[in-house]
Homo-oligomer: A and B are copies of this chain.
Amino acid sequence: MAKGQKNAISPTREEDFPEWYQQVVRNADLAENSEVRGCMVIKPWGYGLWEKMQQQLDRMFKDTGHKNAYFPLLIPVSYLEKEATHVEGFATECAVVTHHRLELNADGKMVPSGKLTEPYVIRPTSETIIGAAFARWTQSYRDLPLLINQWANVMRWEMRPRLFLRTAEFLWQEGHTAHETKEEAIEETHKMHEVYETFLRDHLAIPVIPGEKTEAERFPGALNTFTVEAMVQDRKAIQAGTSHFLGQNFSKAAGIEYESREGKREHAWTTSWGVSTRMIGTLLMAHADDDGLVLPPRVAPTQVVIIPVTPKPEHRDTVLPVCEDLAAKLKGQIFHGSPLEVEIDGRDIGGGTKNWEWIKKGVPVRIEIGPRDIEKGSVALSRRDRGPKEKAFIPGDEAVSGIVDMLQEIQDGLLARATEFRDQHTVEIKDMDEFRKFFTPKNPDKPEIHGGFALVRWAGSAEDEKTLQTELGVTVRCIPKDPAIRGEAKGKCIYTGKDAEGRVIFAKSY
Interface residues of A (CB under 8 A from B): 32, 34-36, 39-44, 46-48, 50-51, 67-77, 80-81, 87, 91-103, 109-112, 114, 119-122, 129, 132-133, 136, 142, 148, 152-153, 155, 157, 169, 171, 349
- Residues in B neighbouring A72, C-beta threshold 8 A: 34, 36, 39-41, 169
Q: State whether A102 touches B122 (Cβ < 8 A).
A: no
Interface pair A81/B110, CB less than 8 Å apart: yes
Smallest Cβ distance from A89 to chain B, in angstroms?
A: 12
A47 in contact with B70 given A96-B102, A100-B94, A122-B122 (CB within 8 Å): yes
B95 touches A100 (CB 8 A): yes
A132's contact among B35, B103, B109, by CB below 8 Å, is which? B35
A122–B71 Cα distance when bound, in Å, is: 16
Question: Chain B nearest CB: distance from A121 CB in Å?
Answer: 7
User: Which residues from B are CB-within-8-Å of A101?
Assistant: 92-94, 96, 157
Q: How far is the CA of A98 from the CA of B120 in the complex (A)?
A: 11
Inter-chain CA distance A157–B103, complex, in Å, is 14
Nearest B residue to A156, CB-CB: B100
- Which residues does chain B contribute within 8 Å of A133, judged by CB atoms? 32, 34, 41
Within 8 Å by CB of A47, from B69, B120, B171, lies B69
Report chain B residues within 8 Å CB of A119.
99, 111-112
A98 touches B98 (CB 8 A): yes
| Given contacts A35-B132, A73-B169, A96 and B94 within 8 Å (CB-CB) | no
Inter-chain contact A35/B76, CB cutoff 8 Å:
yes
Q: Can you list 15 A-B pairs, Cβ within 8 angstroms, ordered by A?
A: A34-B71, A36-B74, A36-B75, A39-B72, A41-B69, A41-B72, A42-B71, A73-B122, A80-B102, A80-B110, A93-B114, A94-B102, A95-B120, A97-B122, A122-B122
Are the CB atoms of A100 and B41 closer together than 8 Å?
no
Chain B nearest CB: distance from A59 CB in Å? Answer: 12
Contact of A102 among B73, B91, B153 (CB under 8 A): B91
7 A-B pairs closest in CB distance: A39-B72, A44-B67, A96-B99, A42-B70, A100-B157, A36-B72, A96-B112
Q: How far is the CA of A122 from the CA of B39 in the complex (A)?
A: 13
Q: Within the complex, what minimum Cβ distance (angstroms) separates A381 from chain B?
A: 26
What is the chain B residue whose CB lies nearest that of A97?
B95
Taken together as a complex, chains A and B put the C-alpha atoms of A40 and B69 apart, in Å, by 11
* Whole-angstrom CA separation of A320 from B295 in the bound complex: 44
Cβ–Cβ < 8 Å partners of A92 in chain B = 101-103
Residues of B near A136 (CB, < 8 A) are 32
Hey, which chain B residues are within 8 Å of A114, CB to CB? 93, 157
A75 nearest in chain B by CB position? B36
When distances are taken between beta carbons in the complex, the residues of chain B under 8 Å from A120 are: 36, 95
Residues of the B chain whose Cβ atoms lie less than 8 Å from the Cβ of A132: 34-35
Residues of B within 8 A of A142 (CB): 349
Contacts of A81 in B (CB 8 A): 109-110
Q: Decide: B68 and A47 in contact? CB cutoff 8 A.
A: yes
Q: Provide the bound-state CA to CA distance between A327 and B423, in Å.
A: 46
Known interface pairs A32-B136, A80-B110, A96-B98; 17 further A-B residue pairs with C-beta atoms within 8 A, sorted by A's residue number: A35-B76, A35-B132, A39-B72, A41-B71, A47-B70, A70-B171, A73-B153, A81-B109, A91-B102, A93-B100, A93-B101, A94-B101, A95-B99, A95-B100, A96-B100, A96-B112, A97-B98
The CA-CA distance from A120 to B38 in the complex, in Å, is 13
Given the complex, which residues of B lie within 8 Å of A75, measured CB to CB?
36
Residue from A69, A91, A129, A132 whose CB has the most chain B CB atoms within 10 Å: A69
Tell me the minimal C-beta distance from A356 to chain B in angstroms.
Answer: 17
Looking at the assembled complex, report how far the CB atom of A352 sits from the nearest CB atom of chain B, in whole angstroms.
16
Looking at A70, A76, A169, A349, which has the most chain B CB atoms within 10 Å of its CB?
A70
